[in-house]
C-alpha cells in the first residue's frame, strides 16, 4: 500500500486558497512596491557617493598639502582622524537612530557628509 500526500499551498493568514485568484492575490502581495525598489537603488548609490567623496581626495591631498609645507605625519593623521571619528561616532548615532528614525538619520548623515566634504576642500 503506497501512501502519497499532497501538500496544498497556504496563504499568509494560514488558510487554504479557495481559488486560483486567491493564489494570484497572494503572489501580488509579495512583489516589491515602487518605494522599496527606489530605496534599494538609492541606498547603494548614496553609499557609493559617500565612499567616492573620500576616495577622490586621497590621491590629490598629500601632494597639495606637501606643497603648503604639511608633513607626511600630519597628512596621515588627517586621514586617520576621519576613520577614528567614524568608528567612535557609529555607536553613538546607532543609539539615536531609534528615536530619530532611519530615514531622518540617513538624511542628516548625508547633509553632514556633504558639508564636511566642502569644508575639507577649503583646508587645502
Element (H, E) at 81: helix 72-100
pTM of the model as a whole: 0.53
Whole-number pLDDT of residue 23: 53
Whole-number pLDDT of residue 121: 73
Query: Alpha carbon of 67 to those of 60, 70, 123, 124: distances in Å?
Result: 11, 7, 13, 10
Whole-number pLDDT of residue 46: 84
Q: What distance in Å separates the CA atoms of residue 121 and residue 91, rounded to the nearest whole number? A: 27
Mean pLDDT by runs of 10 across the 124 residues of the chain is 54 60 57 89 87 82 89 90 88 90 87 82 70
Q: Where are the domains of the chain?
A: 29-123
Query: What is the gyration radius of the CA atoms in the chain, in angstroms?
Result: 26
Amino acid at each position: 500500500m503506497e501512501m502519497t500526500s499532497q501538500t496544498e499551498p497556504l496563504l499568509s493568514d494560514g488558510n487554504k486558497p479557495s481559488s486560483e485568484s486567491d493564489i494570484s492575490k497572494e503572489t501580488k502581495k509579495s512583489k516589491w512596491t515602487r518605494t522599496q525598489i527606489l530605496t534599494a537603488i538609492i541606498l547603494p548609490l548614496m553609499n557609493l557617493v559617500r565612499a567616492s567623496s573620500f576616495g577622490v581626495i586621497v590621491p590629490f591631498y598629500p601632494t597639495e598639502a606637501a606643497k603648503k609645507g604639511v608633513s607626511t605625519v600630519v597628512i596621515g593623521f588627517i586621514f586617520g582622524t576621519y576613520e577614528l571619528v567614524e568608528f567612535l561616532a557609529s555607536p553613538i548615532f546607532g543609539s539615536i537612530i531609534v528615536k530619530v528614525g532611519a530615514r531622518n538619520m540617513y538624511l542628516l548623515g548625508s547633509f553632514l557628509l556633504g558639508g564636511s566634504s566642502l569644508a575639507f576642500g577649503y583646508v587645502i
